[in-house]
Amino acid sequence: MRNSVWLWITNCCESENCGSAEAVLFLIFGIMKTPVYLDYNATTPVDKRVLEAMLPYFTNKFGNASSRTHAFGWVAEDAVKIAREQVAQLINCTSQEIVFTSGATEAINLAIKGVWENYQFKGKHIITVKTEHKAVLDTCKALEKRGAEVTYLSVNREGLIDIEDLKSALKSRTILVAVMYVNNETGVIQPIRQIADIVHTNNSIFMCDATQAIGKINCDVEKEHIDLLCISAHKFYGPKGVGALYIRRKSPRVTLVAQMDGGGHERGLRSGTLNVPGIVGLGEACGIAQREMYDDAKRILNLRTRLEQSLCDFLDVFINGNIQNRLFNVSNLTFKGIRSETLINKLPTIAVAMGSACTSAIAEPSHVLKAMGVSDEDSYSTIRFSLGKYTTEDEIDEVIERVSNVVNGLRCK
C-alpha cells in the first residue's frame, strides 16, 4: 500500500513548485525523522518554565490588573509589577520606563509615530536605515504620506552603516534616528553606542529596534545611550502577542503621543486590558535570559561555527554580513548557482528561511541583501539559518549531511 502511494506521490510532485514527495509522505504518514528547526529568528518555542509561570493567570489567577477593588485584581496587578521589574532589570532601566505592548511591531509604531506627532515643533525629519525591519520602514513610509521627511541610510557590503553618512544626514529639524540593534536576516550588529552619541550631539532622539538582540546579548540602555527600545517576547522563548517599549524618562526625557485611545492603561500610552499571562511570560523569559544567555551564546556559537565551516569550505557557499560584528546564532548563506526555493523544497524536514518571516511570502529579493549590494541572482540563492538554545549537535550534523548531499546532487546535474 505505502509503495503504491509513494509512487503516486512521486509522479504528482515532479514539479519543484509543489514540494517534494518526501514532504507529502511526512504529512500523510508521519514516518520521517523529526524536523530540525533552524528558524529561531522567526520565532522560538516557549520555554517550559515560562509556560509554567503563565498558566495560573489563565485560570485561578484570572483577574484584571486594573481591577483595584478586590483580591483578584490585586494578584494580577502584582504579577504585572513583577514582570515589569524583570524586563527593566534585563535592559538596565527603571520599571516606570517600561510600557507593555502586543509585540515589537506595536512598540515600533508607538515609538516612531509617537515621537513624530509630539516633536513637530522641532521638525519633521526622521533618519533610518534601508536594512531595517519592515515594521520600521513601513511606519516611516506611512508618516511620509502625512508630511514627514525621511532619510534612508545606505549600508556597505557587510551590512553596516557609514557613520559619516549619519553625521551628514543629521539636520537641525531631525527629531528621531531609528537604527536596529541586530539585523533579523544577517545578524549584523550596528555600533549602537557610537550611533547614539552622534544622534545626541544633535539633540535628537535615538530609537533602537532590539527585537533580535534582547535575551541573546547584553542590551544596556544606559550604557548604550538608547532612548527608545523595542522588545518582542516570542523571539527569546516567551509567548507570542506580547512585547514592550522602553521610554527614557530623563537625560533626555522622551514623551510620546499615544496611538490608542481607551481606558488610559500603561500611563495613558497604551490603552487596553493588560494581557496578564503574556506579560508574566515576557517577564519570566527576561529573568531566564538574564541568568542563562551567556552560556547559551557560547554553545550556540560553536554550533554555528561548525555549520558554516562544513558548508562554506566545500560547497561554494559564502556568508553575507560582517563576520566580526554578527549575532552568534545567525548564518545568512548564499549557495552560488542554486535557487534557495529549490534547495528548501528538497529539505522538507529542515526548517529554514529565505529571509524575514514577515516577508517570506513575497516573491522578490530580500530588501536587506539588496541594500547590501548583493545581486538579485545571489539573493535568490540565499538561505537564513538561525539557531537557538534547543539546537543540538546531532541536529547540526544532520543538517550538514543533508544540505551537502542535496547541493552536491544539484551541482552534478
CA distance 94 to 322: 33
Provide the sign of the torsion angle of the four alpha carbons 295, 301, 302, 303, taken in this order: positive
The pLDDT score that the predictor gives to residue 270 is: 94
Domains, the chain:
19-46+292-408 (3.90.1150.10), 48-288 (3.40.640.10)
Separation CA 34–CA 349 (nearest Å) = 7
The predicted structure's pLDDT at residue 15: 43
The region, left, alpha or beta by phi > 0 then psi within -120 to 50, assigned to residue 339 is: beta
If residue 10 lies in a helix (H) or strand (E), which one and from where to where? Answer: helix 2-12
As annotated, the active-site residues are 358
Q: Pairing state of beta strands 382-386 and 317-319?
A: unpaired
- Tens of pLDDT, residue by residue over 177-214, are 999 999 999 999 999 999 999 999 999 999 999 999 99
Evaluate if residue 404 carries a pLDDT over 90. Answer: yes
Q: Is the backbone of residue 176 left (phi > 0), alpha (psi -120 to 50) or beta?
A: beta
| Long-range contact set of residues 313-317: C-beta below 8 Å, sequence gap at least 24 | 314/404, 315/403, 315/404, 315/407, 315/408, 316/411, 317/407
Residue 25 has pLDDT above 80, yes or no: no
Determine how β-strand 317-319 pairs with β-strand 330-335. antiparallel
Residue 300 has pLDDT above 90, yes or no: yes
Which residues neighbour 106 within 8 Å (Cβ) at sequence distance 6 or greater? 243, 270
Cell numbers standing for residue 167: 553625521
Residue 16 has pLDDT above 90, yes or no: no
Each residue of 336-364: pLDDT tens digit?
Answer: 999 999 999 999 999 999 864 454 455 68
The C-alpha cell at 280 is 508574566
Q: Are 346 and 399 in contact (CB under 8 A)?
A: no
63 has a pLDDT exceeding 50 = yes
Q: Return the higher-pLDDT residue of 27 and 329.
A: 329
* 246, 232 contact by CB (below 8 A): no
Helices 134-144 and 104-118: crossing angle in degrees, nearest 10, is 30
In terms of Cα–Cα distance, which of 45, 67, 49, 52 is closest to 274?
Answer: 67
